[in-house]
Amino acid sequence: MVDVAELTDNDFLRQFEIKVDDQLAKIEYSLQERKIFLTKLIIPEEIKDEDFKKEFIAAVFEQIEERNLSVVPTSPEIARFVRANRKYKRMLPVGVRI
């Protein structure tokens, strides 16, 4: 299970990061105005937990929601996550459909 307290927003490298067993999983982003573009999901092969990806993306969405930003998922994996979890569609900017 992803511990949200361990999730870090590294704004210098523009990525959300979480360490799991000395491995760094990350979601790269680009911030423009009040929108955050989630561009790349990187999960090391050593992380075998099937649910980790979903929990990691959900934790990132929760942090973004707290900052009151709209999300534009340009990464295919993150777009699939939004399609599968309809509650996050409300965070998409007007006119963006997935």
Q: pLDDT per residue over 40-87, tens digit each?
A: 999 999 988 878 999 999 999 999 999 999 999 999 999 999 999 999
- Record the tokens describing residue 77, joined without a space: 């994996």
Question: Distance (Å, rounded) from C-alpha 54 to C-alpha 77?
Answer: 10
Question: Distance (Å, rounded) from C-alpha 10 to C-alpha 7?
Answer: 10
Question: Distance (Å, rounded) from C-alpha 60 to C-alpha 57?
Answer: 5
pTM above 0.85, yes or no: yes
**Domains of the chain, CATH where assigned:** 4-91 (3.40.630.30)
Mean pLDDT, all residues of the chain = 91
* All residues at 6 or more sequence positions from 32 whose CB lies less than 8 Å from its CB, including other chains: none
